[in-house]
Structure 1
Amino acid sequence: MNEQQAIDRAEEIIHQAVDGMSPRPTLERMGHAPVGACIARDDHGPDDRVQVTLIYKLTGVPGAEAQNLVRQARDAWLKQGHKYNSSGEVDWSSSFPSVYMRTGPDDFWMDAVTGAMDRAKGEGLASLKVSSPCFLPPGKSKASGATPVGPAAFEAPSADDPATRRALAHSSRIYDALQVGSAPTQPGEGLSTVRDESGASVHHTWSTWTVRRVPTAEGPPAVVAGHPGEHAVAQVATSTTGAVRVAVTTPATGPASAGV
């Protein structure tokens, strides 16, 4: 698999969920360029692997429809033969259900999540996320011994840039919350500026020390969250080694502060 194939497949999975929805929502993409360092890699893969992650908000529909959209995404993915990545049934009695699934045999992971907008009224905002398996970028091979791709493969942002300060401020709060020291910078980690058709973003990735091995039959757990005011996106994932990998992305233009 290469970068374009991963993006095309992720987009296909998104549209499998959305194209038959009623009411039909508008897809609003969140986050940075879709290709980034593999934040949940384990010891069995080379450090220069990357993965594709696409996140879309489903906008243009009433907030009361969010749960219905998540259910429709689930039904569409099941119709395509995709499977739950957990054995537990979704709690549809909740106003804000979430669905976690995966494809086979290519093993893309996706979720449909309802974020609360007005808890009193039960109104939410549905979002879809698809992550590809990790893969090697062009010119890399497991046996090549080539130097892994690091942040220098992108633009190096200025330390005084407001977007850089926002990204680092969000990273610092995650660091404080984890209460685990950061590990030495790994290949592919650090600060970079990424440009794509949606504009420029500052990307900051880092990882903690390995704390303990995390056995899990369903893959490493991960959390993705967005900051509504700044349109920043944070990803926190544990690898099977026990290390926690963090990625924060913020648009290169935006508000001057990084408030919670």
Structure 2
Amino acid sequence: MTATILLMMVGAAACGNGDSGHSRQSDKTPQNRAGNMDEQQATKRAEEIIHQAVDGMLPKPKLKRIGPLPVGPCLADDNSSSSGRKQVALTYQLTDVPGSEAKRLLRHARDAWVKEGYTFTSPDADWSVPFPKFFMRTPTDDFRMDGIIGPTNKETGEGIAAISVTSPCFAGGAGTPSEANPAAYQTPPGTSDAERRVLEHSSRIYEALRVRHQSQAGDGVSRVEDGTDLLTHHTWSTVPLSREALKGAIRRGRDSLGVEGWAVRSLPLENDQEMIVARHPADGSLARVVPSADGTIRVAITAVDHEGARSA
């Protein structure tokens, strides 16, 4: 099934291009719930979760931040373009330690979060492989975390551990529609896990591209049956860019997906451009990031909706 979706996404892409600091605070307190958080509280909570993972590690790593500023827009429900909702996303590499220690540091982070009562959103990491990865959440306030190892020497099994924390969305400043269009990622009760995943992945890519959203026909979340599987798609577009700005944004998207552990393929296109096709290491979601002839970037995320899948 994965190969089928990948071929479908590559075909669609080709058509699109041719068309023209920390302190302890209980996560059970009401102010930490997504509906009541503000930017300061969300950042403080995300930093707390990071420190829960790294405090007590030996050898003690240095936290090296990856990516843009910690607070940015969430990917929007298209009907909420003026909401200005935001989320915190923090990613740190654990540096200044021997590469052979990466797996032990990652396991320490996993154990620390389990001790806090946090739960897995996918099966626990396979610790028998050289470069394990895991995905978790805080059950009371729905912060999402993951831990991966970026290989530096595949033959010796050395690498750099990285951990990430992403907050749920919260009310931000007023903002303008152009700034907030991708920002009102809303998952009301009953939202499927697949829809939550495609929106979260889209939000990360939006932050990496650093380009404003522009609504186009066909944008939004949709579902498609593929044999016995129910697929959830999320598609959106950016504003038009110059040729060089387009290349820079695509490159940032490619690098960000790689840092987060996605299996990334870069496919050359005309005019010295490239499209990105990637597969998420744990949940199998597929992403494509494609420059179009009109200078916009089209982004599409596809995930299998296991909850809604039909029986064979």
* Same fold, judged at TM 0.5 (above): yes
SS in 1 for 2:111: helix
AA in 1 matched with 2:135:
Y
> Which structure has the larger Rg?
2
1:55 aligned to 2:91?
A: yes
Give the alignment of 1:70-81 within 5 angstroms. Answer: 70-81=106-117
Unaligned runs of 5+ in 2: 1-36, 182-209, 213-240, 254-272, 279-286, 308-312
RMSD over aligned CA atoms reads 3.8
Give the alignment of 1:189-208 within 5 angstroms. Answer: 207-208=299-300
Q: Is the 8 A contact 1:70 1:99 kept in 2?
A: no
Among 67, 87, 105, the residue aligned to 1:31: 67
Cα distance in 2 for partners of 1:131, 1:216 equals 23
Cα distance in 1 for partners of 2:246, 2:80 equals 28
1:124 deviation in Å? 0.8
SS in 1 for 2:58: coil
SS in 2 for 1:149: helix
Spell out, residue by residue over 1:49-83, the C-alpha distance to the aligned partner (whole angstroms, 9 max, x if none).
32111000000100000000010000000111111
Identity of aligned residues (%): 43
- More strand by proportion, 1 or 2? 1
1:166 deviation in Å? 2.0
1:115 aligned to 2:216?
A: no
Give the alignment of 1:231-250 within 5 angstroms. Answer: none
The residue aligned with 1:5 is 41
Cα distance in 1 for partners of 2:306, 2:41 equals 28
Among 266, 271, 274, the residue aligned to 1:173: 274
1:46 aligned to 2:80?
A: yes
Cα distance in 2 for partners of 1:130, 1:206 equals 26
Give the alignment of 1:138-153 within 5 angstroms. Answer: 138-139=173-174, 147=177, 149-150=179-180
1:147 deviation in Å? 4.1
Kindly tell me the number of residue pairs found equivalent between the two proteins: 187
The residue aligned with 1:235 is none
Is the alpha carbon distance of 1:169 and 1:95 closer, same or farther for their aligned partners in structure 2, counting shifts above 3 Å?
Answer: closer
Is the alpha carbon distance of 1:126 and 1:155 closer, same or farther for their aligned partners in structure 2, counting shifts above 3 Å?
Answer: closer
TM-score, L = length of structure 1 = 0.59
Instruction: After the TM superposition, list the runs of 4 or more consecutive aligned residues in structure 1 that deviate by more than 3 angstroms.
Output: 146-151, 159-165, 168-183, 205-208
Cα distance in 1 for partners of 2:179, 2:288 equals 29
Q: Is the 8 A contact 1:50 1:134 kept in 2?
A: yes
AA in 1 matched with 2:70:
P
1:6 deviation in Å? 1.1
Is the alpha carbon distance of 1:207 and 1:134 closer, same or farther for their aligned partners in structure 2, counting shifts above 3 Å?
Answer: farther
1:37 deviation in Å? 2.5
Spell out, residue by residue over 1:207-250, the C-alpha distance to the aligned partner (whole angstroms, 9 max, x if none).
34x87x85256xxxxxxxxxxxxxxxxxxxxxxxxxxxxxxxxx
Q: Is the 8 A contact 1:56 1:129 kept in 2?
A: yes
SS in 1 for 2:179: coil
Cα distance in 2 for partners of 1:206, 1:4 equals 32
Q: Is the 8 A contact 1:66 1:125 kept in 2?
A: yes
Is the alpha carbon distance of 1:57 and 1:119 closer, same or farther for their aligned partners in structure 2, counting shifts above 3 Å?
Answer: same
TM-score, L = length of structure 2 = 0.50
Cα distance in 2 for partners of 1:42, 1:127 equals 30
Is the alpha carbon distance of 1:11 and 1:163 closer, same or farther for their aligned partners in structure 2, counting shifts above 3 Å?
Answer: farther
AA in 2 matched with 1:167:
A
